[in-house]
Amino acid sequence: MTSFIITNAEAILTGRTGDDARTDGNLRVVDGKIDAIGDVQPVPGETVIDARDAVVTPGLVNTHHHLFQSVLKAVPAGVNAALAEWLRVVPYSYWQHIDEPTLRTAARVGLAELALSGATTVADHHYFFADRYDYDPADVLFETAGEIGVRFVLGRGGATKTRTFDTPEIVPFPTEPLGHMLDGLATTAARWHDPQPDSMRRVAFAPSSPTFALATGELREAAAATRALGLRIHTHLSENHDYTDYTAAHFGQRPMPWLAEHDWLGPDVWFAHLVECDADEVGILAETGAAMAHCPQSNMRLASGIAPADLLHARGGTVSLGVDGAASNEAADMTGAMYMAFHLHRATKGPRATTAETVLHWASAGGAKALGLDMVGTLEPGKSADIAIFDLSSPRHLGFHDRALAPVISGTGTVRHSFVAGRPLVTDGRVPGLDLTELAHDARCAVDHLATAVQAGATA
């Protein structure tokens, strides 16, 4: 039996809601699970982790990311672009140049940033799978997640049809026949998916969007095949008016009732964005149990709008937080996402639109529910010991009367320690074994490689 105890915390936020949102005392971990919280004291020989001047929270759960974009931050052509133009000049312009070393570097950058901001679980939506790659992106992403130590969910993406652009240098989005895509999903799941409640590795089916990436006649078949494998479904939806206008023009309906007709709703489905989601659609989400991955920073950066996360939460639906890709959110960290979610809804809907405790719930328990990870997301006995300890010693965190709120509403969080199933992920503010100097060099090389390749294509 291995155990450790976390003592002297300024506060413990549990990830739950209402009167259960906070607790106090010490927290003991035994064999990777939370054993007790409260009036528990160290025993002889037990490792003691001093959380003085720190807040303890559940490990945060990022439900929507694009790790390959971690080396596509602030691409000049896309900085001031809205979604459609940004897609053309950033991910659709660069995807074909992302070789295996570049993807591995991008994944390390993104996962390090997430771990150092309190994330212990990451769901990555990777939607480029192409014959021109001489490697399997799924293997690279799972291997890198294993090196860092996070729980990892891969949304195995792709498309059977593509969106084209009017400039010849843009290589079309790679497509696959549906059968080939589903075979790839099954192969990836056989290699990496673990269905256990405390799984470290999961696979989901994640086409880029049902609206633009699949033919309508393929939706029901794809959903059935995915569920037959015991996998969940993830995709982008209603990110801006383009999505809702397209479905209205082509199918005579808004996205949510349209998808309901094709078996694309339920508690095993989670959607990224949902900015253009009206009150009736929020009701459908809440009724069916489909979850939202709320990505406030990316939605603001691309001027897409504000998702009704507060309304879905009020209706009893499942809200989670995603940072989205770093190419549309150059601060792709979970404390930043919490800060923006807390302030954005209050700025537009009033000071009672949401609370810090609710936002933390979205970033922890809501995320775990969206991903079907029943053993993580809250701090309570019996749950897996996925824990973040946020340091409060920096000037940013001084002067708080309610110090428990600092990691959520201060705009930045310094993780002193974090754990995944009781195993250290961050120790003394560092990811063990990760050489940041080397990573910075690799990132600069990746950026130079991509910029040179795209420039060469533009002048060819």
pLDDT in tens for each of the 460 residues of the chain?
Answer: 589 999 999 999 999 999 999 999 999 999 999 999 999 999 999 999 999 999 999 999 999 999 999 999 999 999 999 999 999 999 999 999 999 999 999 999 999 999 999 999 999 999 999 888 999 999 999 999 999 999 999 999 999 997 766 566 677 788 999 999 999 999 999 999 999 999 999 999 999 999 999 999 999 999 999 999 999 999 999 999 999 999 999 999 999 999 999 999 999 999 999 999 999 999 999 999 999 999 999 999 999 999 999 999 999 999 999 999 999 999 999 999 999 999 999 999 999 999 999 999 999 999 999 999 999 999 999 999 999 999 999 999 999 999 999 999 998 878 999 999 999 999 999 999 999 999 999 999 999 999 999 988 766 5
Residue 146 neighbours by CB under 8 Å, 6+ apart: 152
- 28 near 88, Cβ under 8 Å? no
Question: Which residues belong to CATH 3.20.20.140 in the chain?
Answer: 60-371
The top-level CATH class assigned to 60-371 is alpha beta
What whole-number distance in Å separates Cα of residue 331 and Cα of residue 324?
A: 10
> Can you state the percent helix, strand and coil of the chain, rounding each to 5?
40, 20, 40
Residue 395 neighbours by CB under 8 Å, 6+ apart: none
pLDDT of residue 156: 98
Put simply, whether the predicted model's pTM sits higher than 0.75 gets the answer yes
pLDDT of residue 458: 66
Question: Which residues belong to CATH 2.30.40.10 in the chain?
Answer: 3-58+379-427
What whole-number distance in Å separates Cα of residue 264 and Cα of residue 253?
A: 15
- Tokens 């002193």 locate to 416
What whole-number distance in Å separates Cα of residue 398 and Cα of residue 118?
A: 19
Nearest one of 73, 65, 47 to 119, comparing CA atoms? 65
- Tokens 């479905």 locate to 247
Residue 69 half-sphere exposure toward CB, CA atoms < 13 A? 30
pLDDT of residue 411: 85
The CATH number of 3-58+379-427, from 2.30.40.10, 3.30.1360.120, 3.50.50.60, 2.60.40.10, is 2.30.40.10
Token duo for residue 418:
């974090």
Classified as helix, coil or strand, 365 is helix
